[in-house]
């Protein structure tokens, strides 16, 4: 099937099987490899993107649900030259070790802060509990979310 949807602000048209997950459309069709494959069953959160503003696991969204959708990936959130405040906080807190989960962590945190600019520690924990980090950078992830929240509030 042909599906038209927007990725990081640009309209894309992809010829794909209707049941192909968005994750693989992004990675293998569109070359947007910042979104990572970790489990394929929504158990790790590495493939988290924004779909119409909400954080979703892109391994669980199939092509036939994408017509007209607006997708934002880690590449669209910010760039090395102009990082999103959440990315800037992650860099300032020197969060990453292997870094493989961090795209998903950052997308999840950005969605949280867009909805809740001043989350409590418990709300941060609840929002990010589905994003696995095998290196164990959780203490710095928490610190970075708090740092980003403060920076965004102070604008």
83 binds other proteins (CB under 8 A): yes
Distance between CA atoms of residues 8 and 24, nearest Å:
16
Q: Please give the helix or strand (H or E) that residue 70 lies within, else none.
A: strand 70-72
Q: How far is the CB of 26 from other proteins (least distance, A)?
A: 11
Instruction: Give the SS3 label for residue 2.
Output: strand
Helices 121-128 & 138-154 angle (0-180, nearest 10): 120
Of 39 and 65, which has the nearer Cβ to other proteins?
A: 39
| CB neighbourhood size of 75 (10 A) | 17
Q: Does 126 bind other proteins (CB under 8 A)?
A: yes
- If one asks whether residue 87 binds other proteins (CB under 8 A), the answer comes out as yes
Please, what is the minimum distance in Å from the beta carbon of residue 102 to other proteins?
A: 6
Helix (H, G, I), strand (E, B) or coil at 51: strand
Report how far residue 132's alpha carbon sits from residue 44's, in angstroms, rounded to the nearest whole number.
5
x/- letters, 93..112, toward other proteins (CB under 8 A) = -xxxxxxxxxx--x------
Among 131, 147, 148, 149, binds other proteins (CB under 8 A): 131
123 binds other proteins (CB under 8 A): no
CA dist., res. 97 & res. 62, Å (int): 31
Residues that bind other proteins (CB under 8 A): 17, 20-21, 23-24, 27-29, 31-41, 43-44, 46, 73-75, 78-80, 83, 87, 90-91, 94-103, 106, 125-126, 128-142
């Amino acid at each position: 099937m042909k599906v038209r949807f927007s990725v990081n602000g640009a309209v894309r048209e992809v010829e794909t099987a209707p049941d192909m997950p968005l994750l693989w459309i992004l990675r293998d069709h569109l070359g947007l490899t910042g979104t990572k494959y970790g489990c394929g069953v929504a158990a790790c959160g590495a493939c988290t993107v924004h779909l119409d503003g909400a954080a979703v696991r892109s391994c669980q969204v199939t092509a036939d649900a994408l017509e007209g959708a607006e997708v934002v990936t880690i590449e669209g959130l910010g760039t090395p030259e102009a990082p999103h405040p959440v990315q800037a906080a992650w860099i300032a807190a020197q969060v990453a070790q292997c870094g493989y989960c961090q795209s998903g962590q950052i997308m999840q945190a950005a969605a949280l802060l867009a909805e809740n600019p001043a989350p409590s520690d418990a709300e941060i924990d609840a929002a990010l509990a589905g994003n696995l980090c095998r290196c164990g950078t959780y203490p710095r992830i928490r610190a970075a979310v708090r740092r980003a929240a403060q920076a965004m509030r102070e604008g």
